[in-house]
Every structure is written in structure tokens, then in C-alpha cells.
Amino acid sequence: MAGASMKDIKLRIRSVESTMQITKAMQLVASSKLRGARQRMEASRPYMKVARRAIWDIALHNTGAESNYVVPREVKHRCYIVIAGDRGLAGSYNANMFKRIEWDSRDASCCFIPIGRKAREYYARRGASIITEIERVEGLTLEKCGEIGQQVLDAYDAGEYEEIVLAYTSFVSVLNQKTKLKPLLPLDAHDAPERTNKQMLCEPDADTLLKEFLPQYLAGLIYSAACDSFASEQAARRVAMDSATKNAGEMIEDLSLRYNRARQSSITQELTEIVAGAEH
Amino acid sequence: MALIHLTVVTPEGKHYDADAQRVMVRTTGGDVAILPHHIDYSASLATGEARITEADGAVRRAELSGGILHVASDEVQVITRQFAWKD
């Protein structure tokens, strides 16, 4: 009996060891990707800050299109651009995002633009209305973001939906990432500067300026959100894999202890048997 | 001497963030030079050369493409798709 159990324990130790090797490797990969992702994320932040301010300045000087891009309307149709992960095993990174949208999207009929494999799979499985999809968050180019930006803007102008929301995960620190829902159009009122009576000169005119800049602004925003989300994904995975590796280590320790106990008891038993045999 | 504060950003990063004497860029309506105490101003940018006269008088040239030029109380912002120094 003791022998069989010893063999079982040995097998389990070996299987946990190989799992630990995988989690350890994934943790290292995530750490190294995180470094690059953080740099890209930091680099894209100044653009956001400056562009958000500028677009509001122009929008507020523009009376013609103001109703469309600035004033919120009753939302019957909403479009979500969802940036989730390319892979799983990143703790609750993907699940948090889907849960948040699930809750947020109850009040309107919604369509989705999933970015990243996990998002694509999730919405395809649920049979949600998908406008267009992008396979990978990693290596998402500015051109691609521009295409999405133009596409949603055209549909928004055509009145297909009254609101466009960008769903992404914001990187706060390695241990803390927050899901964010950022209204793209109508423009987010949180970014609005105080209304002033200051004059501003626009060339050619505010309306044309806004029309020309909006697609680039949307592209920039989506790009920056993708950089942010990718860094968050790597951080979430690194933390998840770190704790998985630690757990595997503990498990191996525990199993080794049990293995040694089983070995000792089998030796003791054999000795008892020999001694008992010699006495007769 | 009066100076303007110039920021040049693209989605991929910040390319310039310092005081300057003069900024010249190509808008869709033609070349425009911004000097200190300019009125608040916005214009859409075309593809073309930008010339920045830095605080010490040195002139730097760059190529940029698309976006907007935004001036608000001596803060000049060039928000563009692509930006590359020529020197």
C-alpha cells in the first residue's frame, strides 16, 4: 500500500513541477513584455492630454455641429469598442472587463467592436452584434486605429448609434488595474474646459477643423487605450503567474513532506517485518 | 524677450516641450508663423516642413503630417500624426 502511494505522490510532484515551469516562464515573458508596454503607454499619454483639450476648444467654438458631437442625446443604440486581452491566464483581467460592460449595457441595444482575441471570442459566443473585429491588441497600429475611428465616426454621423464608448483597462500600477468606460462621442464632458468668452480664430473654420481632426483624435484615443490595456494585461498576468508559481512551490513542499513520510513508514514496516521474522 | 511655449505631440510620444521664439508650420491654408502674444488660434495642418526658432535663436527643421495647430495664451500645441526632425 505504502509503495503505491509513494508512486502516486512522486507522479503528482512531477506534474506540479512541470506546471510550475510553465507559470514561471509565462511570468518571465509577461515581465519582459510589460517593460516595453509601459514605455509605449507613457509615451502616448501626453497626446491624450493635449488633444482632449484642443478638441473641446474647437468644439465649443463650433455652433453648427455642436448638437451632434457635444450635446448628449437619448441613447437607444450604443457602440462599444472593447479592448480585452489576447490570451487568458491573466487573473480576472478579461472577466472584469466583460462584467463591467454587461452591467453598463443593459439600458440600450448595443453593438460591439472587440479588439483582442478574448473579446472577439466572448462576443462571438454570445451572438452579440459585432460590427468589425480585430484579432490582436499586441502590435495594434495607429493606422488600424484610424480605420476604426473613421468607421465609427461615419456610422455615428449616419445616426446608427447615439453614443460610442471605449472600454479599456487603465494601468495604475503593477498590482492595480482599473477598467474604464470612456465616452468617445459625444465628447466626454469630464474633459470640457470652462466656457469662456475668449475669441479664437479657426482656419479654415471650426466645423471643417472638427471634421478633419475628429478621426485622428479617435484614432489617437483608441491607440492610447490599447497601449494602456496591453500594459495592464501583462501586469495582471505577471501577478497571476507569480502567485501560481508560489502556490505550486508550496504544493511541491507539501507533497515532498508526504512522500518522505510515506517512504519512512514503508521502511519502518519492512524493518518490523524482518525483526518479527527473525524472532520466530 | 517674450517666448511661446511649444509642445509637439503624436500618439507615439512627445517630441518637443520647451520655450521657443517662433514656430512656423504648414497649414491647409498655407504657411503660418506663430509669434508670442498671438491670438488664440486653431488650424488644420497639412504635410510639410515645420521650422522652430528655439529660445537661443537656433532654428530646427522637422517634417510633420496632418493634425492641428492649437494656440491658447502663448501655449502652442502641434498635435500631429507624424513628426520627424530633419537635423
Residue A155's contacts (CB-CB under 8 Å, 6 or more residues apart) are A79, A131, A161
User: Hey, where are the domains in chain A?
Assistant: 22-240
What type of residue sits at position A235? A
pLDDT value of residue A1: 44
pLDDT value of residue A99: 93
Q: Which residue of B has its CA nearest to A46?
A: B14
Q: What is the pLDDT of residues B27-71, one digit of tens each?
A: 998 999 999 999 889 999 999 999 999 999 999 999 999 899 999
**Any chain B CB within 8 A of the CB of A211?**
no
Closest by CA position to B63, among listed B39, B81, B42: B81
Average pLDDT of the residues in A24-48: 93
Partner B, chain A 3-62, Cβ-Cβ below 8 Å: 40, 43-44, 46-47, 50-51, 53-54, 57-58, 61
What do you get for the CA distance between the two ends of chain B, in Å?
A: 26
Contact A170, A180 (CB under 8 A): yes
Domains delineated in chain B: 4-85 (2.60.15.10)
Task: Provide the residue count of chain A.
Answer: 280
CATH class of A22-240: alpha beta
Cis link prior to A46 (omega < 30° from 0)?
Answer: no
Contact A50, B78 (CB under 8 A): no
pLDDT value of residue A67: 59
pLDDT value of residue A88: 86
Question: How much is the pTM?
Answer: 0.87
Q: Which residue of A has its CA nearest to B10?
A: A47
Interface of B with A (CB under 8 A): 7, 9-14, 17, 27-29, 39-44, 66-68, 70, 72, 77, 79, 81
pLDDT value of residue B74: 86
**Secondary structure letter of residue B46 according to DSSP:** -
Q: How big is the A-B interface in CB pairs under 8 Å?
A: 90
Q: In whole angstroms, give the CA distance from residue B53 to residue A100.
A: 49
CA of residue A43 relative to chain centroid, distance: 19
Q: What are phi and psi of A181, to 5 degrees?
A: -115, 110
Angle formed by the axes of helices A117-125 and A93-104, to 10°?
50
CA distances from A83 to A111, A137, A233, A245, B46 (A): 14, 7, 10, 27, 31
Closest by CA position to A105, among listed A128, A127, A84, A131: A128
Q: Which residue of B has its CA nearest to A42?
A: B13
Q: What is the pLDDT of residues A59-112, one digit of tens each?
A: 877 665 555 788 888 888 999 999 999 988 888 999 999 999 999 988 888 999
pLDDT value of residue A128: 86
Q: Which of B5, B8, B12 to probe the A interface (max A CBs under 10 A)?
A: B12
| Residues facing residue B34 across a β-bridge | B23
Sign of CA dihedral A32, A34, A37, A39: negative
DSSP-based three-state secondary structure for A27: helix
Q: Are strands B13-27 and B4-10 parallel, antiparallel or unpaired?
A: antiparallel
Q: What is the pLDDT of residues A69-84, one digit of tens each?
A: 888 888 889 999 999 9
**Percent of chain A scored above 90 by pLDDT?**
60
